[in-house]
Amino acid sequence: MTAVVTTEEARTALVALRTEIGKAVVGNDAAVTSLILALLCKGHVLLEGVPGVAKTLLVRAMAKALDLETTRVQFTPDLMPGDLTGSLVYDSHNAAFSFREGPVFTNLLLADEINRTPPKTQSALLEAMEERQVSADGKTRPLPSPFIVVATQNPVEYEGTYPLPEAQLDRFLLKVTMPVPEREQEIDVLTRHASGFDPRDLSHLSPVAGAEHLEAGSAAVRALTVAPEVIAYVVDVCRATRQSPAVRLGVSPRGATALLAAARAWAWLSGRDYVTPDDVKSLARPALRHRLELRPEVELEGVTADGVLDGVLGAVAVPR
pLDDT in tens, 63-82: 999 999 999 999 888 888 88
**Mean pLDDT confidence for 46-61:** 88
**Of 2-6, 41-45, 253-257, 315-319, where does mean pLDDT reach its minimum?**
2-6
Amino acid at residue number 66: L
* 138 contacts: CB under 8 Å, gap ≥ 6: none
Q: Name the most confidently modeled range: 14-23, 64-73, 228-237, 242-251.
A: 228-237
Reply yes or no on whether the pLDDT at 87 is more than 90: no
Q: With a cut of 90, say whether residue 214 has pLDDT above it.
A: yes
| Cα 319 from Cα 212, distance rounded (Å) | 36
Mean pLDDT of 42-56: 88
pLDDT for residue 206 is more than 80: yes
Q: Where in the chain is the domain with CATH 1.10.8.80?
A: 225-315
On the question of pLDDT at 300 being above 70, the answer is yes
- The third-level CATH classification (topology) of the domain covering 225-315 is Helicase, Ruva Protein; domain 3 (1.10.8)
Whether 141 shows a pLDDT value over 50: the answer reads yes
Alpha-carbon distances, residue 62 vs 28, 68, 72, 206, 216 (angstroms): 13, 8, 13, 10, 18
Residue 282: is its pLDDT beyond 80?
yes
**Sign for the pseudo-dihedral over CA of 65, 71, 76, 77:** negative
Between CA 220 and CA 232 the distance in angstroms is 22
Residue 237 has pLDDT above 90, yes or no: yes
When pLDDT is cut at 50, 70 and 90, the band that residue 89 belongs to is: confident
* Average pLDDT for 49-69: 89
Instruction: Provide CATH 3.40.50.300 ranges for the chain.
Output: 7-194+211-217
**Residue-averaged pLDDT of the chain:** 89
Backbone angles phi, psi at 6, to 5 degrees: -80, 165
Beta bridge partners of 111: 73, 151
CATH no. of 7-194+211-217: 3.40.50.300
Q: What is the pLDDT of residue 100?
A: 84
pLDDT band at residue 161 under the 50/70/90 scheme:
low
pLDDT at 156 > cutoff 70 = no
**Which of 26-30, 156-160, 310-314 bottoms out in mean pLDDT, i.e. has the lowest?**
156-160
pLDDT value, residue 310: 95
d(C-alpha 218, C-alpha 236), whole Å: 26
**pLDDT tens string 285-296:** 999 999 999 999
Q: How far apart are CA 214 and CA 40, in angstroms?
A: 6
Q: Distance between CA atoms of 277 and 284, rounded to whole angstroms? A: 10
Give the confidence band of 1 by pLDDT, cuts at 50, 70, 90: very low
Distance in angstroms (rounded) separating the CA atoms of residues 88 and 94: 14
Of 65, 59, 36, 69, which Cα lies nearest the Cα of 206? 65
